[in-house]
Structure 1
Amino acid sequence: MDTITLAELIEQAVADPSQSNLTGNLEDFMRLLSEENLSRLEEEHQGAFAFLAFHPSADIHVADYVRSGTLASDTGPGVLAFFTLDEGATSSPPSPLSDGITVEGDVHIAYEVTRLLFSPQVAPPLPGVLFTGRVSGVGDAVYVPLGDLADTEQVRSRLRLAFSLANQTMSTDGGRSDFSDRFAKALLSERIEYQRTGRRSMGEWMRKSYRRIVDNGFELAAVLGGVLGGQL
């Protein structure tokens, strides 16, 4: 299965040689994931975004599905799906939040990214997949759980249906502005459980999440399906 990193996607979306091969320092990082660049990515990818949140070792059925290689075809042209797959992508613990409060050091980075988006709400059970119509500005994300599924085929079946509904939702009138409302209704019609984050700064979430991922030595990968209008 062919993949591409988020940094490479943005570099191609902006088509700016000065923004290629960024070093990872704070100045380059903030330039890479600026609101302007994230908006350009949205312009190039006329569809929804999805983030698969799973632990490659613990969430075996989801991990096996991703490794099977059908994700790119399952997403269709209207969904760009991101994920981290490295077995060791655990987050190093930050400084204690306050006296007597510590943070687990073995939380998989994908879990941490999901919890960040739901904060201060309690995050839903993992694994699962987040869908959003935006990666810039203010938006709302819809979370579909996958932890209740018994095997890889059930994971594939639910994700194919969810991706299909996301594609249908993006192809109807309304655009990105009310994607989550229309997608949630589509999930409800299929009796698929979901949870919504409420309105959030999606650009801020992307920046914090990606910084956390690269600070731990990993990358955010995306499948090469219908991304960027098939240009890649």
Structure 2
Amino acid sequence: MSVVSLRTLAENADVDERGGRNFAGQVDSWENFFRPEVLERLDRAHDGVYAFLCFLPSRDEVMKSYIASDALATDAGHETLALFIADDGARWPKPADAMTDIGGLCLNTSLHPAIALARACFPQKALPHFPGILFFTRIASPCEPVFVSCADCTDLIGLTRRMQLLFDSARVASRTPEFSSALASTVAGRGILYTRGGRTEMREHVKNAFFGLAQFKTDLVAAVIDRFVKGK
């Protein structure tokens, strides 16, 4: 499995849509990345589900092992873009095991951007325990995210099975008129803890949670999907 910066995917989406790198140099900072037109092009290019892995690298060793095992990209497939935070930037695709600390930034729990993003999406609700996955269908415009807990998966085999189930369920739900309702119904039927809280501005939540990543030398990266990567 390789990982690549989400900013690089946004640049590639612009190339696909415009037929040339007319936006080159404009996605070189988090501030430019969060311009609505950039995120709209990324949403159109992806045309699928985003799955953000919310976990604490200083505590959630099983999730870190899962990411490092190379299973993430395969389990997520082409219809789901799996995202996580890593200490190293990834402006070009690179092997997951080459990242200095998969899962990245080791800060106080209350400050970790992965946790901050998840909590911001559900300000009036208590979330199930971390780690978990935050599923959403768009970044540029409002949507209804769903947080699904993986806290009860205590070993790599159990977590891998849970991730495969959730990615499969998200793919099926994405083909329905009501993604959040369909995904929530599936996970509830399996007895898995989840939270949904209505439509919200994902662009603002992502921006607020990740605007300070550069100062810590961290990046928001994705498991590489072939159709996003030039030359494949």
Shift, 1:129, TM fit: 0.6
Shift, 1:185, TM fit: 1.9
CA offset digits 1:106-142 (Å, max 9, x no partner): 7433222222222254343211111011112111111
Matched, 1:73 2:77: no
Cross-structure match for 1:18: 23
Mind listing any 5+ residue stretches in structure 2 that lack a counterpart?
16-20, 88-100
Does the 8 Å contact 1:3/1:224 carry over to 2? yes
Amino acid of the structure 2 residue aligned with 1:138: P
Cross-structure match for 1:201: 201
Matched, 1:143 2:147: yes
The aligned length equals 212
Partner Cα separation in structure 2 for residue 197 and residue 227 of structure 1:
32
Q: What secondary structure does 1:192 align onto?
A: coil
1:78–1:18 distance in 2 versus 1, CA, 3 Å = closer
Cross-structure match for 1:96: none
Partner Cα separation in structure 1 for residue 57 and residue 84 of structure 2:
10
The 5 A counterparts of 1:72-91 are 72-86=73-87, 87=101, 89-91=105-107
Aligned residues: CA RMSD: 2.4
Does the 8 Å contact 1:55/1:63 carry over to 2? no
Matched, 1:184 2:184: yes
CA offset digits 1:68-106 (Å, max 9, x no partner): 111000001110010014355145xxxxxxxxxxxx587
TM-score, normalized by length of structure 1?
A: 0.81
Cross-structure match for 1:216: 216
1:216–1:59 distance in 2 versus 1, CA, 3 Å = same
Shift, 1:226, TM fit: 5.2
Q: What secondary structure does 1:139 align onto?
A: coil
Amino acid of the structure 2 residue aligned with 1:166: A
Q: What secondary structure does 1:20 align onto?
A: coil
Mind listing any 5+ residue stretches in structure 1 that lack a counterpart?
92-103
Identity %: 28
The 5 A counterparts of 1:4-153 are 4-15=4-15, 16-20=21-25, 22-24=27-29, 29-86=30-87, 87=101, 89-91=105-107, 107-153=111-157
Does the 8 Å contact 1:46/1:228 carry over to 2? no
Does the 8 Å contact 2:56/2:109 carry over to 1? no
CA offset digits 1:22-75 (Å, max 9, x no partner): 443xxxx43322222211111111210000011223101111111111100000
Does the 8 Å contact 1:169/1:182 carry over to 2? yes
Amino acid of the structure 1 residue aligned with 2:138: R
CA offset digits 1:145-186 (Å, max 9, x no partner): 11111201111100100001111222x242xxx311222122
Amino acid of the structure 2 residue aligned with 1:51: F
Amino acid of the structure 2 residue aligned with 1:224: V
Amino acid of the structure 1 residue aligned with 2:25: S
CA offset digits 1:167-211 (Å, max 9, x no partner): 1222x242xxx3112221222333332111322111111222231
1:200–1:231 distance in 2 versus 1, CA, 3 Å = farther
Cross-structure match for 1:99: none
Partner Cα separation in structure 1 for residue 220 and residue 116 of structure 2:
13
TM-score, normalized by length of structure 2?
A: 0.81
1:231–1:118 distance in 2 versus 1, CA, 3 Å = farther
